[in-house]
Structure 1
Amino acid sequence: MTALTDLRAQLNIIDDNADDELLTRKIAAAEASVAADIGAETPVIYGDAPADLQEAILMKAAHLFENREAVLVGVGAQELPLGYADLIAPHRKWVF
């Protein structure tokens, strides 16, 4: 499976290619974000990443797709336990 196919499944987008260009941009942004969050010295590419980082990339890309503005008004939000941070934690480089 490709990142685009997996992201479309994550978002429950079936038989509609209209957003594929936007989804591809969200995947690229998510890959860059995950790489920065773990302190990777090289790019994190979905197809080459371990399963937990692939899931983190999908979570980040889906979030970016669903929340396209910098601010949400009138919506309560809470980080889910065992979510994104837990997926990237084993790969994070700690630098002081």
Structure 2
Amino acid sequence: MKTGKRCRARSVQKARFFHIVSIKFAVLTEIENYRMLVSVEDVKQSLGIEDAADDALLTRKIEAAEAWVSSYIGATLSASSPAPVLEAVRHVAEHLFEGGEPTFRSAATSPIPAVVRDLLRPYRTWFF
């Protein structure tokens, strides 16, 4: 009798393990296939940067900007996102690159530029 319970318990444990592994694999595959919607070259051009010294930093700022914009409008960004949304991503990435990262002291004095909120207003989902 005990053997049957142990077998069932092990089967459940194995099933949970494989379920968790498959979820982790799906998430990692999604991360590996991630492609930024705004290119580093676009942001470099608008900032007037010509060398590749800051490419890694700009990549991180663009990823953060895309996450912020997605969270702000309440929707996932895609290649078919409207041009004003992508322009807002560029503005946020530029703002973050130029040192506009909010800190406790500067959060009130260095907010996201008003133009970004104006660009995103028509696309924002409101919840009440």
Q: TM-score range by the shorter chain?
A: 0.7 to 0.9
Counterpart in 1 of 2:118? 86
Task: Give ranges in structure 2 of 5+ residues lacking alignment.
Answer: 1-37
Larger radius of gyration: 2
Q: Deviations over 1:57-89 (max 9, x none)?
A: 00000000001553477xx768766x1111001
State the match for 2:56 in structure 1: 21
**Residue of structure 2 equivalent to 1:11:** 47
Q: How does 1:1-96 map to 2 (within 5 A)?
A: 3-14=39-50, 16-40=51-75, 42=76, 44-45=77-78, 47-67=79-99, 69-71=101-103, 83-96=115-128
Change (3 A) 1:65 1:78: closer
- Structure 2 counterpart of 1:32, one-letter code: A
TM-score, normalization: structure 1? 0.77
Instruction: Name the Cα RMSD after superposition.
Output: 2.4
Does structure 1 retain, via aligned residues, the 8 Å contact 2:102–2:111? no
CA 1:35–1:70: 2 relative to 1, 3 Å:
same
Q: Which runs of structure 1 show a deviation greater than 4 angstroms over 4 or more consecutive aligned residues?
A: 76-81
- Rounded to whole Å, the distance in 2 between the matches of 1:67 and 1:56 is 17
Q: Which amino acid aligns with 1:88?
A: L
More helix by share: 2
- Secondary structure of 1:57's counterpart equals helix
